[in-house]
Amino acid sequence: MAGDKRFAVLIDADNISDQYIKVILDEVSNDGIATYKRIYGNWTSPNLSSWKNVLLDYSITPIQQYSYTTGKNATDSAMIIDAMDILYSGKVEGFCLVSSDSDFTRLAARLRESGMEVIGMGERKTPKPFIAACNRFKYLDVLVSADASQQQTAPKAESPAPAPGKPAGKKQPPEGNSELAAVCNTVRAIVAENSDEDDWLSMSALGTLLVKRMPDFDVRNFGFSKLTLLVQSLGIFEVRTEKMKDNSSRSYVRIK
């Protein structure tokens, strides 16, 4: 579409498995178009052999980077240099940096300083500084697990109000209730600070503000498909949904 944002997708092959490629590109497609698709690594190494067929299937350009010395990550440097070249070309509105390496923290921050939207992707082991430097961060291992679960399970109607902290027919949060409690506290603070005179806040506004405060937030991390269902499951919020004239619906939330 004409209004879609253009993204440069830059992948650190040394830190990312080829099993994630479909999820990576699918997630980027939700936000815009992948204008650049490049992956960096030493392609003479047998460790990257599993990537070779994937590159052809998804039309990803491999960038060769030899390891000049032991203990130095030349791949990171090549990816950073390319990112800055693309930035100055003015041909994209955003970057997707795919790595679980904290070495890209400063790059993410620099791109954001230039007005770029930065989406980070990596595994749960990704250091917090890199996550915080991105506008949003997505856990690839969580998303792949969620996709696998959906394929193995027949679709079922989701309950409008699951028991507090226990998604109906879903697993508990990957890291236990501490993550869910952090989300609950953040949602409470956002609603309290931004609600209208009747204490209501639109669900879309909540989602936008929630991602700004918690870049790694994704409802799928907790086994849900929609923010409304997650908020209802927390047990301390009231949710109402209004039908619009165009048959769409709009949801609102407030603290009980």
Confidence of residue 149 (pLDDT cuts 50, 70, 90): low
Q: How confident is the model at residue 191, as a pLDDT?
A: 93
Contact 216, 121 (CB under 8 A): no
Q: How confident is the model at residue 42, as a pLDDT?
A: 87
Domain spans of the chain, in order of start: 5-144, 156-255
Q: How confident is the model at residue 159, as a pLDDT?
A: 42
pLDDT of 208 higher than 60: yes
Half-sphere exposure of 34 (CA within 13 A, CB side): 22
pLDDT of 60 higher than 60: yes
Which positions ≥6 away from 53 have C-beta within 8 Å? none
Phi, psi of 70 (to 5 degrees): -70, 135
pLDDT of 212 higher than 70: yes
Closest among 91, 139, 140, 138 to 119, alpha carbons compared: 138
The mean pLDDT of 218-223, rounded to a whole number, is: 90
Q: How far from each other are the two terminal CA atoms of the chain, in whole angstroms?
A: 41
Closest among 117, 135, 139 to 32, alpha carbons compared: 117
SS (H, E, C) the chain: CCCCEEEEEEEECCCCCHHHHHHHHHHHHCCEEEEEEEEEECCCCHHHCCHHHHHHHCCCEEEECCCCCCCCCHHHHHHHHHHHHHHHHCCCCEEEEECCCHHHHHHHHHHHHCCCEEEEEECCCCCHHHHHHCCEEEEHHHHHHHHHHHHHCCCCCCCCCCECCECCCCCCCCCCHHHHHHHHHHHHHHHHHHCCCCCCEEHHHHHHHHHHHCCCCCHHHHCCCCHHHHHHHCCCEEEEEEECCCCCEEEEEEEC
Q: Note the pLDDT tens digit of each residue in 160-169.
A: 444 444 444 4
Residue 228 to residues 9, 118, 207: CA-CA distances in angstroms?
30, 25, 9
Q: Which residue has the higher pLDDT, 176 or 184?
A: 184
Q: How confident is the model at residue 81, as a pLDDT?
A: 94
Confidence of residue 131 (pLDDT cuts 50, 70, 90): very high
156-255 adopts what CATH topology? Nucleotidyltransferase; domain 5 (3.30.420)
Mean of per-residue pLDDT scores for the chain: 85
pTM: 0.76
Superfamily of domain 5-144: 5'-nuclease (3.40.50.1010)
pLDDT of 155 higher than 80: no
Q: Note the pLDDT tens digit of each residue in 20-37.
A: 999 999 899 888 999 999
Q: How confident is the model at residue 150, as a pLDDT?
A: 58
Q: Note the pLDDT tens digit of each residue in 231-256.
A: 999 999 999 999 887 788 899 999 98
